[in-house]
Amino acid sequence: MKALVYHGPGKRTLENVPKPEIKSPTDAIVRITKTTICGTDLHILKGDVPEVTDGRILGHEGVGIVEQIGSSVSNFSVGDHVLISCITSCGKCTNCKKGMYSHCENGGGWILGHLIDGTQAEYVRTPFADNSLHLIPAGVDEEALVMLSDIFPTGFECGVLNGQVKPGDTVAIVGAGPIGLATLLTAQFYSPSEIIMIDTDANRLEVAKKFGATQVIRNDVDNAVEKIMALTANRGVDVAVEAVGIPATFDTCQAIVAAGGYIANVGVHGKPVQLNLEKLWAHNITLTTRLVDTVTTPMLLKTVVSGKLQPKQLITHHFMLDQVMEAYDTFSNAMKEDALKVIITNNSG
């Protein structure tokens, strides 16, 4: 089968590799119909995730059709259309029972495209299929649902829920990429009074305004900290969401959070950041970190089916699987290409 294979920092190739096989009774083999590229894949290619080894098939998002199931799989049948969660969950260990699927103690968590082969391929093996796949209702746009594999539960859980967004809050989201925009869209569930988006990409900020941002700040033109403090009468924001994963954006969040506020880190950090505790020790802030657990995926799926949430808005480009190298070039040059999320369709399906 065709697959996008990682060969160390900066090295990726489209290759023919063996089709995956059932290894455990809880496995399912899914024929991928649609997948995408995540910012985390770019972090992997930069060398920020050293656990990813040479020869790994990348990707942890997608939808497809169940082709084969292990003997212990009971919730799915061959032929089912499914959403593949970016997080694999046994559903039985102590952490899974607490809803902390990202830290599954039985070999789950974030493993697809990380510790085992992922979804940027014609087929993928999904461990713990009963707890790691979601049945797609008939008639629902599968392209839109690709966005529910990762970015929407990530933005919602790590940004909105961890940030304790409440009605009337002033929220700043630092980073208007796909994760930041997913945070923007789901933050509106809780009716904050202001949502301020900060980025260096003018196109993404225009998109953010269309998606409901009340203020946008272009950080390479304006001093974001000064502008936000002016907008908030020098108080700062109730919730600062870090949605990039670099020291500069984390510094911005520390500088703009109000007393009693929240810094919700979403970004994948490949380098240390400085915690300015000498300024924040008496500031009554809460700093949260989280790897998405995908516990909210069933709820988000219902909001998409009902039309309340429209994740397809984030899709800007389409490619076939045999164009995946071009898809990576486009996604990694997002500012030049005006790219948000790309959809990659399996040539054979």
**Beta strand 257-265 pairing with 237-242:** parallel
Statement: residue 349 has pLDDT above 80: no
- Residue range 217-222: mean pLDDT, rounded: 87
pLDDT band per the 50, 70, 90 thresholds, residue 222:
confident
Secondary element (H or E) of residue 16: strand 12-16
For 151, phi and psi rounded to 5 degrees? Answer: -65, -35
Q: Can you list the pairs that 330-333 forms with residues at least 24 positions away whose Cβ atoms lie under 8 Å?
A: 331/37, 331/42, 332/42, 332/45
- In whole angstroms, what is the distance from residue 84 CA to residue 117 CA? 13
- Give Dmax over CA atoms of the chain in angstroms: 62
What's the pLDDT tens digit per position in 22-32? 999 999 999 99
CATH homologous superfamily for the domain 153-288: NAD(P)-binding Rossmann-like Domain (3.40.50.720)
**Quick check: 145 and 36 in contact, CB under 8 A?**
no
For 119, phi and psi rounded to 5 degrees? Answer: -100, -5
Average pLDDT across the chain, whole number:
96
Instruction: Give the per-residue pLDDT at 347.
Output: 83
pTM: 0.95
Closest of 18, 10, 8 to residue 54, by C-alpha? 8
pLDDT band per the 50, 70, 90 thresholds, residue 220:
confident
Closest of 304, 309, 269, 312 to residue 36, by C-alpha? 312
- Residue range 289-301: mean pLDDT, rounded: 97
Statement: residue 133 has pLDDT above 90: yes
What's the pLDDT tens digit per position in 299-326? 999 999 999 999 999 999 999 999 999 9
Q: How many CB atoms lie within 10 A of CB 243?
A: 30
Looking at the chain, the whole-number percentage of residues with pLDDT higher than 70 is 100
Q: At the topology level of CATH, where does 2-150+293-345 sit?
A: Quinone Oxidoreductase; Chain A, domain 1 (3.90.180)
Residue ranges per structural domain of the chain:
2-150+293-345, 153-288
